[in-house]
Structure 1
Amino acid sequence: MHGGTLLLLIVIAIGIFARSPLTVMATVAILILHLLGWHGWLHWAERHGVNMGLFMLTLAMLAPFATGKVGFKEVYQTFVSVPGLIALAGGVIATNLNKQGIELLHGEPQIIVGMILGSLLGIVFFGGVPVGPLMAGGLTALALTIYRWLLG
């Protein structure tokens, strides 16, 4: 059995144990593509999967504008309230961390193993919510920057 196949089976088992259906479904999909020999799709997913995921996430975040759940009143409240201003700052910080996470994943792709396992452990032991590798990558990049800075 190919080493990558065994690792995917392990991730499926951990995902089932962690009660993370998204992890299980994504891993099963990748495993099926691999077993069918559809390596072109695997390369496509590797190159464009993050952007497609971000596209879907952005659709979900913008939908309340179209459905009328968020209007000008709510937008105005963002700029005149302390929680709204904190949310704006949180968005700026999070997107910067996410950018650093993407750069880290491109520069050190082996680090994704730790982030996936860490995410699954966070689900199992702390009731965490898997929001994807970007925030994990961003926090990892921040922690590595601090670590490297402390080492001089």
Structure 2
Amino acid sequence: MEQSYWMLLIILVMGLFMKNDSLAISGAALILLKLLNMNILLPKLEAYGLKVGIIIVTIGILAPIAADKYTLLEIYQSFKTPLGFSAVLGGAIIILLTGRGYGLLTEDPSIAVPILIGTILGIILFKGVPVGPLVASGVAVFIYNIISYIQKMWRGI
């Protein structure tokens, strides 16, 4: 059996064990694609899956607006609260980090496996939500840049 089957099976079992549907479904879907000899789809999923996933997440976030759950006045007033201001600032910072994370994932796809392992640990240890790989990529770049800066400073001493 190929190593990829074992890794995907481990991901599937972890998803089931942790009751994390996203992780389990992802592992099962990829195993199914491989079993049905549909490997031709894998490069397309690799190339476009992240973009499609971001679109689906964005649709999910915007769906309450489309369902008329919020008025313009409610949205406007939410900006005037400390929580609303924090949300705007936090959102901007996360977008900055995820943009860098997206760049990291597209430039060096091999980093996806350590990020996935870190994400799985975050799900297990902190009951996290598995939209983390993109954010984790951004944080990874941020941490890497800090470490690089410290190393440069250390060499200069």
Contact 2:102 2:137 in 1 (8 A): yes
| CA distance in structure 2 between the aligned counterparts of 1:79 and 1:15, rounded to whole angstroms | 37
Task: Check the 8 A contact 1:19/1:124 in 2, yes or no.
Answer: no
How much does 1:39 deviate?
1.9
- Is 1:123 aligned with 2:123? yes
Partner of 1:30: 30
Alpha-carbon separation, structure 1, partners of 2:132 and 2:79: 29
Find the aligned partners of 1:78 and 1:54 in 2 and give their Cα distance.
24
In percent, how many aligned pairs have the same letter? 34
Alpha-carbon distance in 2 for matches of 1:111, 1:19: 25
In 1, are the aligned partners of 2:12 and 2:26 still within 8 Å (CA)?
A: no
The count of corresponding residues between Structure 1 and Structure 2 is 152
2:9 maps to 9
The one-letter amino acid paired with 2:121 is: L
Contact 1:100 1:138 in 2 (8 A): yes
CA distance in 2, matches of 1:90, 1:125: 23
Aligned pairs for 1:45-64 within 5 A: 45-64=45-64
Q: Please state how far the C-alpha of 1:45 moved relative to its aligned partner.
A: 0.9
Which structure has more relative contact order (CA 8 Å, sep 6+)? It is 1
Alignment correspondent of 1:136: 136
Deviation at 1:137, TM superposition (A): 1.0
Deviation, 1:35, is 2.0
In the TM superposition, what whole-angstrom CA distance separates every residue of 1:106-148 from its partner, at most 9, and x where no partner exists? 1221221122111211222222221241111111111111111
**2:107 counterpart residue number:** 107
Once structures 1 and 2 are overlaid, which stretch shifts more, 124-133 or 88-97?
124-133
d(CA) in 2 for partners of 1:46, 1:132? 17
Q: CA deviation at 1:92?
A: 0.9
The gaps in structure 2 that reach 5 residues or longer are 153-157
Is residue 33–residue 39 contact of structure 2 (8 Å, CA) maintained in 1?
yes
State the secondary structure of the residue aligned to 1:39: coil
Q: Is the 8 A contact 1:18 1:121 kept in 2?
A: no
Instruction: Kindly indicate whether the alpha-carbon contact (under 8 Å) linking 1:115 and 1:136 is maintained by their aligned counterparts in 2.
Output: yes
Corresponding position: 1:20 with 2:20: yes
Q: Secondary structure at the match of 1:136?
A: helix
For the 8 Å contact 2:99–2:138, the answer to whether it is kept is yes
